Structure 1
Amino acid sequence: MANVQQLSDEYTDLQKKLQDVIEARQKLDAQLSENQAVQKEFKTLDGDANIYKLIGPTLIKQDKDEAVMNVDKRLDFIEKEIKRIEGQITEFSEASEKKKAEIMQIQMQQQQQAQAQQK
């Protein structure tokens, strides 16, 4: 039977992984909002509007259709990443809850054994 300290370490590790994927999800949310704002802005532009892309310290003129396509692809990628990350969040949350239940069960067994030995 695994000891409480080992299970506790595993639980802590799962909590760290869960926190990491939650942070990744938050970053993706920010990227999603930013790209949705750009997509919305593109829809308000005239067909002959100039669009520039910042590459390093330089602004490079970009074709509107190409820019729209790039933002659409980026949004698609971000949405797929969000789904993947949400799957990891669910996985780590469930594993964490199972580990927590294991720890509690062992602690209860130890308490019952200690009480039995006192009697």
Structure 2
Amino acid sequence: MSVAISTLQDRLQAASTDFQKIQNDLSNVVEARQRLEAQLSENELVKKEFSQLTPSNTVYKMIGPVLVKQDQAEAKSNVDTRLDFIKGEMKRVEAQLKELDENSEKKKMEIVEIQTALQAPQASAST
């Protein structure tokens, strides 16, 4: 009986460690999603500003400490490409988030099952 309890306690410890790791990963992915959302918002704002430009307006790109003149079409294209990339990354991060949520729930259920199994002998011993 003692060996079974020891095995369950070891499983509980391992499952708890795995659960913590999943929670850390989840936290990192949520941070990544927030950064992507900020970048998406910023780039959408830039695209909106570009839509208000006239052909006579000059666009500059900051390269290090220097502003370099850039073709409007190229600048617009760069922003569109960046937006597509960010949206793709957001889809990837959302899928990763969904997977981690599912894994977290599975691990949580495993922990509950192990805790229940550990408490069963204690409950029968006290009656």
TM bucket normalised to smaller: over 0.9
Which amino acid letter does the alignment assign opposite residue 79 of structure 2?
V
Distance 2:97 2:121 in 1: 36
Aligned length: 119
Structure 2 counterpart SS, 1:59: strand
Larger radius of gyration: 2
Distance 2:52 2:123 in 1: 73
Distance 2:55 2:122 in 1: 79
Structure 1 residue ranges (4+ consecutive) displaced by more than 4 angstroms after TM superposition: none
TM-score when scaled to structure 2? Answer: 0.91
Distance 1:54 1:73 in 2: 18
The one of 33, 36, 50 aligned to 1:42: 50
Aligned alpha-carbon RMSD (Å): 1.0
Q: Note if 1:72 corresponds to 2:80.
A: yes
The one of 37, 41, 51 aligned to 1:33: 41
TM-score when scaled to structure 1? Answer: 0.96
The alpha carbon displacement at 1:102 in A equals 0.4
Which amino acid letter does the alignment assign opposite residue 120 of structure 2?
Q
The alpha carbon displacement at 1:116 in A equals 1.4
Distance 2:68 2:29 in 1: 34
Q: Which ranges in structure 2 are unaligned for 5 or more consecutive residues?
A: 1-7
Task: Report the counterpart of residue 15 of structure 1 in structure 2.
Answer: 23
Distance 1:75 1:82 in 2: 10
What are the superposed Cα offsets for residues 79-112 of structure 1, whole Å, 9 maximum, x if unpaired? 0000000000000011011001100111011111
